[in-house]
């Protein structure tokens, strides 16, 4: 096939295409991309066949909020190797695209994290799509496990630093009531995707943030002003604004299933997507890690700090997909898109990632009948 490598055919699978599931469809991968979708009996003779034995083949999961994995926490180790450890740990659970997430920290730590992310992408570390800076421009009243001593309002120099990643996506979570509207506009103008989160803002303050360029909400319902009858708060603004995205942690702990169903009913299809907010114990044997000098341990799969605040999660993306099916009664097709197609669209990668279609990046995950991961491919590998 000229200078190109021989195509690989993933065959004998049920494949989630943009039009829905198709049985006995083969996915041809070549040079890191999906070359074609053909019937199993129409696979080119020169292609190398990989029999999936009836597995379900989905677009690879994309997780926009990953604090750690494989025993590594990004805040504690802002290195390329830590990023590699984190993304490798999550790949076992179907995540083929990840935003390593740094929670509120000093400017020097943020700068190192951005530099490491830039270098990881330059080195081609599989699965690194950019960075998520969750804070430090957030509200003390809704700090969760973040260290309020790190909170501040960014000046122009820090805005430039926080939005300086030039070879990947930057997602920035802030409290709109804590940051001037002009600063939010500057962040968006520099290419950042800005979300509201860890916010005590009133409905009016959140609406002002949306007008300034806030386009979504980080872990909807958690660490934000709630929806009430006379004060809609951040949750009310999130559910009302059709154009805004909402990330959700579907672990049965962070949000009640009924509240998640309300969000899915209120939002246009495609605007609610899955995140894990994962901590280092995902893909590791040790249930404990250190954050801001405090040891935090997952008990029965629930991660809390000493004060009792939820401190991220022990969730992986494959479990989040299963939970959508089992807790929310969603079809697997929709749960899978919440983990792949919708986050790709959110990150501006909807023409290259998150779908099984010709021309797309060959990022894929195969699940067995119990929705357990049996294989992942990143760039066809």
What is the residue whose two structure tokens read 């590998």?
381
* Contact yes or no for 187/138 (Cβ under 8 A): no
User: What digits encode the pLDDT tens for the residues 246-282?
Assistant: 999 999 999 999 999 999 999 999 999 999 999 999 9
* Stated pTM of the model: 0.97
What pLDDT score was predicted for residue 201?
98
What pLDDT score was predicted for residue 206?
98
d(CA 120, CA 65): 17
Determine the average pLDDT of the residues in 329-354: 98
What pLDDT score was predicted for residue 134?
98
Q: DSSP of 16-77, one letter per residue? A: EETTEEEETEEEEEETTEEEEEEEGGG--TTSEEEEEEEEEEEEPEEEEEE-EETTEETTT-
Domains of the chain plus CATH, in order, are 8-59+357-377 (2.30.40.10), 61-346 (3.20.20.140)
User: What digits encode the pLDDT tens for the residues 221-256?
Assistant: 999 999 999 999 999 999 999 999 999 999 999 999
- Residue 316 in this model has a pLDDT that exceeds 80: yes
User: Catalytic positions, please?
Assistant: 277
- Residue 306 in this model has a pLDDT that exceeds 90: no
Determine the average pLDDT of the residues in 354-369: 98
What pLDDT score was predicted for residue 5?
74
What pLDDT score was predicted for residue 4?
54
For the ranges 42-56, 98-112, 295-309, the lowest mean pLDDT is seen at: 295-309
* Contact yes or no for 144/121 (Cβ under 8 A): no
Average pLDDT, the chain: 97
What pLDDT score was predicted for residue 263?
98
What pLDDT score was predicted for residue 159?
98
User: What digits encode the pLDDT tens for the residues 81-126?
Assistant: 999 999 999 999 999 999 999 999 999 999 999 999 999 999 999 9
Q: Which token pair is 162?
A: 């926080």
* Res. 2 pLDDT band, cuts 50 70 90: very low
Q: Which token pair is 167?
A: 């070879």
- Residue 293 in this model has a pLDDT that exceeds 70: yes
- Residue 284 in this model has a pLDDT that exceeds 60: yes
What pLDDT score was predicted for residue 3?
42
- Residue 1 in this model has a pLDDT that exceeds 70: no
* Res. 37 pLDDT band, cuts 50 70 90: very high
User: What digits encode the pLDDT tens for the residues 180-224?
Assistant: 999 999 999 999 999 999 999 999 999 999 999 999 999 999 999
What pLDDT score was predicted for residue 372?
98
How far CA 18 is from CA of 21, 33, 43, 87, 140, in Å, comes to 8, 16, 20, 26, 42
* Res. 308 pLDDT band, cuts 50 70 90: confident
**Residue 248, helix vs strand vs coil:** strand
């Amino acid at each position: 096939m000229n200078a190109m490598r021989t195509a690989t055919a993933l065959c004998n699978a049920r494949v989630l295409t943009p039009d829905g599931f198709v049985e006995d469809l083969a996915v041809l991968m070549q040079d890191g991309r999906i070359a074609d979708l053909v019937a199993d009996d129409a696979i080119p003779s020169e292609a190398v066949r990989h029999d999936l034995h009836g597995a379900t083949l989905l677009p690879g999961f994309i997780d926009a909020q990953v604090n750690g994995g494989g025993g590594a926490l990004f805040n504690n180790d802002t290195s390329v190797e830590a990023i590699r450890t984190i993304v490798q740990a999550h790949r076992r659970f179907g995540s083929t695209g990840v935003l390593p997430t740094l929670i509120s920290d000093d400017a020097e730590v943020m700068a190192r994290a951005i530099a490491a992310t830039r270098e990881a992408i330059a080195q081609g570390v599989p699965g690194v799509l950019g960075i998520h800076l969750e804070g430090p421009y957030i509200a003390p009243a809704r700090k969760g496990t973040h260290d309020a001593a790190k909170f501040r309002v960014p000046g122009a120099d820090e805005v430039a630093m926080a939005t300086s990643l030039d070879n990947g996506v930057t997602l920035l979570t802030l409290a709109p009531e804590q940051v001037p509207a002009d600063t939010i506009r500057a962040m968006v103008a520099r290419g950042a995707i800005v979300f509201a989160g860890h916010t005590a803002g009133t409905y009016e303050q959140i609406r002002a943030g949306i007008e300034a360029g806030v386009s979504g909400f980080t872990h909807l319902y958690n660490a934000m002003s709630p929806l009430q009858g006379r004060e809609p708060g951040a949750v009310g603004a999130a559910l009302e604004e059709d154009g805004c995205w909402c990330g959700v942690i579907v672990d049965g702990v962070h949000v009640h299933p009924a509240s998640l169903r309300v969000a899915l009913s209120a939002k246009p299809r495609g605007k609610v997507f899955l995140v894990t907010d994962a901590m280092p114990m995902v893909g590791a044997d040790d249930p404990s890690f250190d954050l801001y000098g405090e040891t935090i341990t997952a008990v029965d799969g629930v991660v809390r700090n000493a004060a009792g605040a939820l401190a991220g999660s022990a969730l992986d993306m494959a479990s989040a997909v299963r939970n959508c099916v089992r807790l929310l009664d969603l079809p697997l097709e929709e749960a899978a898109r919440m983990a792949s197609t919708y986050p790709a669209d959110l990150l501006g990668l909807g023409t290259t990632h998150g779908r099984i279609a010709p021309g797309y990046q060959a990022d894929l995950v195969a699940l067995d009948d119990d929705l357990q991961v049996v294989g992942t491919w990143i760039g066809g590998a």
